[in-house]
Every structure is written in C-alpha cells, then in structure tokens.
Amino acid sequence: MKINNIELFAGAGGLVDGLEQSGNIQLLSAVEWLKPQVRTLVNRLENKYNIQDAKEIVLNFDIQRTEELINGWSNDEEFGSSPGLAKIVGNKEVHMISGGPPCQAYSLAGRVRDNNGMKDDYRNFLFESYIKVVEYFQPKIILFENVEGILSAIPTGEKITSLIKQGFNNIGYEIIDDLRKNALFDMSDFGVPQKRKRVIIIGVRRDNQSTDYQEILKQIYSLIHNLSTHQQTKTVRDAISDLPPLYPVENPTRTKAYTNDSSINGHSSRFHNERDKEIFKMLAKDLEEGTNKYTSTNALKELYFEVTGKKSNVHKYFVLRWDEPSNTIPAHLKKDGLRHIHPDPSQSRSITVREAARLQTFDDDFMFNESQMNNFEMIGNAVPPLFAKKIGEIIPSILKLIKDMEKA
C-alpha cells in the first residue's frame, strides 16, 4: 500500500521527485504559490511519472489563505479556480504531510544581508498555515524541512523552533526535544555532492497517552542517520566533470558570451563581464597550481574590495574544488555566481543551471525551462531528490515503528 502524501511549499519538486522515486509515496496534492515552480513541477509529474491530472492536483495558491486552500476558491485574479484540497483528497486517508516553508527568513546568509536580520519577514510565520493544514487532515506524520538557521532564528524574542514545537503540540503532534542534536543533517553524508546542512523536523500524531513519543522520535532519527552512506564522499568532479566545457568567446555579447552550444537542458553559461572573467580565471588557477594565495576568507574579502571598492560581510568569491563536495547551492545563485565559480580556469565562468541541478542531485531528465534566474532560484530552494528518495524508502518502516510502539 502506498503512503498518501500532501506536499506544501512544493517549489519545483525536489522533495516530491525523490519521494516519487522511492516508489512508496502517492502524491495526493501539492501546493505552491510561484508560477514558474508550478509549471516545472507539473511538467515533471506529467512527463516522468505519467500523472495525467498533475494540473489539477498541483495547486497554485497562497497557503496563507488556508481556509480557501482547503475548501476551494473561484475566479481569483491571480490563482484562477480550484475545488480545494478537501475535495481533491476526497475520502482518502492522508498519512503524511511534507514540505518546508521558504527558508530565506531563517537562513544565516539572508540574515547577514538584511539590515533587520529579517525579523520583519512574513515568511517567518508561514509555518502557522502549515499547522492549520495539518490540523485539518490529521496525518500520522509530518516531514518538515528547513535550513540550519531555523535553529537560531528569533524573529519576535522567542526562538522560531519553540513556536513551531508549541504550535504542533497544541494540535496533538510530538516533535523531538533536541533538534540540533537529532534533526540536523549534512546532505554530503547521504551521497549528495554538496555541503548542505538541513534540519528535518519529524512530527508524530499522538494517539496513545501511554506511549513515549520522544523515544519513538529518537528511533526514527536513528533510522535516518543510518541512511548516511559511509562511503567515499561524492565530489564536484563526480557530479559535473562529464558535462561539455563552455569557453569564453571572442567579442562577447550579452546573449553570446560563451560556447553555449550544448543540447543539454540548462547547460549554458550566464554573461560575465571581462573583470569577473579575469578574476574567475585567476582564482581557479590559484587553486589548480597550488599557489593558494586566495583561499582564506580575508584574502577574498580584500580582493573584492580591491576590484569593486565595496566592503562585504561575507567573502564574495569561491571556486568549487574538484575533489570535494560543492559549497551549498543557494537560491541567491539567481543574482550572481561569484561564490560558485567553475574550477576549470580556462572556462572563466560560474556554474550553469544544469551543473547546479547536478550538485543538487536532480536527474538530467528533470527539465528546467523557465528563465535562468527562476531556474537557479528553484534549484537552490529544493530538497536534493537523492536525499528525499532515501527518506521515502524508509517511510513504511517509520510508520511500522510508530504502530508497533503504540501497541506495546
């Protein structure tokens, strides 16, 4: 029997895709408010998984309008019409609700860039809408993914994780007490060629007063930790070295700055000015030749000041290392690629959409057909499908564990 799931904040579908690949999960519906992400997810579900009603079950809507999301809306100027989640789900039991609110308000990088530490960002409280949907459908488990920064975010004087725990506790769900100890994972430990720390919050519906749900959660997290590969870490070389090189052209224009003649979806370089190309080449050569003049944070900050006259809280340049996992692939890639420079000096560029997708473990048949900016954003915000697949593979064991311990 497949496990029925509703996905909230679905994005382009990294989590959905991995859960589908596991073969254990039946997607009842997914909710996402950004149209490029919706189009990308629908395309994937139709063409990869032959889900013919993808346009009906992927809801383009604002989750903050929770009552309408559940009961339906009509003739909305931005979101059209839909019967809503309750009618789409019908009389099917919802076993799981997955997804994670947009992470920018919790991200450490975002808080560094924002003058007010993102305390005024409405995205801090989207979890409240998530809780309302969970309360309505009463799944046995929830799977809530977010950035490491959620563990330290304090937008209103109280830790956001305390508010999340309290909110789920109020509707009858248990979350593990020590999230930092149990729920923080580095994706590179699970075969993802990228250093990417993420918090995976599991919630379990309390159905038995005499059951120790904290013990259940400890055992669930033990199952997840046991998924780590214990094999050689996957590297940038493993992920992208077989893709065709893209070299700078003479007399570049905004539309033709590199040999972007690859037929591989998303494998074309963005435009870079001559100054940046020279810096990329110099920094990649510095690594390749072992000079290592620019490997410290201070040296990179100084270089940025030298070439731009601007000071930065974070170093702006980073060259990927061939034989290490990539640094984190962020949504910020949509703005520039300065922290994701290709390690081949002769290419003098930042990584492409397809290279970013590879480092996130998206398959090459996962199509990114929106603008380059939108593609980078949705890839950077995604859960790596490989990690999601591994979680999907143990969801039946998690549900069995809960059932057995509630009976004991």
Decide if pLDDT at 48 tops 70: yes
Q: Looking at the structure, do residues 34 and 119 belong to the same domain, yes or no? A: yes
Q: How far apart are CA 406 and CA 165, in angstroms?
A: 21
- End-to-end Cα separation, the chain, in angstroms: 23
Transcribe 111-176 into DSSP letters.
Answer: HHHSTTTTTT-GGGGTHHHHHHHHHHH--SEEEEEEEGGGGT--SSSS-HHHHHHHHHHHTTEEE-
pLDDT band at 32 (very low <50, low <70, confident <90, very high): very high
Q: Looking at the structure, do residues 51 and 188 belong to the same domain, yes or no? A: yes
Instruction: Please answer whether residues 316 and 304 qualify as being in contact, where contact means their C-beta atoms are separated by less than 8 angstroms.
Output: yes
Instruction: Please answer whether residues 302 and 279 qualify as being in contact, where contact means their C-beta atoms are separated by less than 8 angstroms.
Output: no
**Which is nearest to 204 in space by CA: 217, 191, 193?**
217
The answer as to whether 367 is a domain residue is no
Instruction: Please answer whether residues 127 and 159 qualify as being in contact, where contact means their C-beta atoms are separated by less than 8 angstroms.
Output: no
Question: pLDDT tens for residues 136-193?
Answer: 999 999 999 999 999 998 877 888 899 899 999 999 999 999 999 999 999 999 999 9
Instruction: Please answer whether residues 196 and 186 qualify as being in contact, where contact means their C-beta atoms are separated by less than 8 angstroms.
Output: yes
Question: pLDDT tens for residues 95-122?
Answer: 999 998 875 444 444 433 445 444 444 4
Q: Looking at the structure, do residues 60 and 141 belong to the same domain, yes or no? A: yes
What average pLDDT score do residues 339-350 get? 98
Three-state secondary structure along 357-407?
Answer: HHHCCCCCCCCCCCCHHHHHHHHHCCCCHHHHHHHHHHHHHHHHHHHHHHH
Pairwise pLDDT comparison (122 vs 134), residue with the higher score: 134
The answer as to whether 377 is a domain residue is no
Q: Looking at the structure, do residues 344 and 204 belong to the same domain, yes or no? A: no
Tokens for 379, please give them: 């890839």
Q: Looking at the structure, do residues 83 and 212 belong to the same domain, yes or no? A: yes
Residue 339 domain boundaries: 244-351
- Enter the pTM of the model: 0.93
The answer as to whether 80 is a domain residue is yes
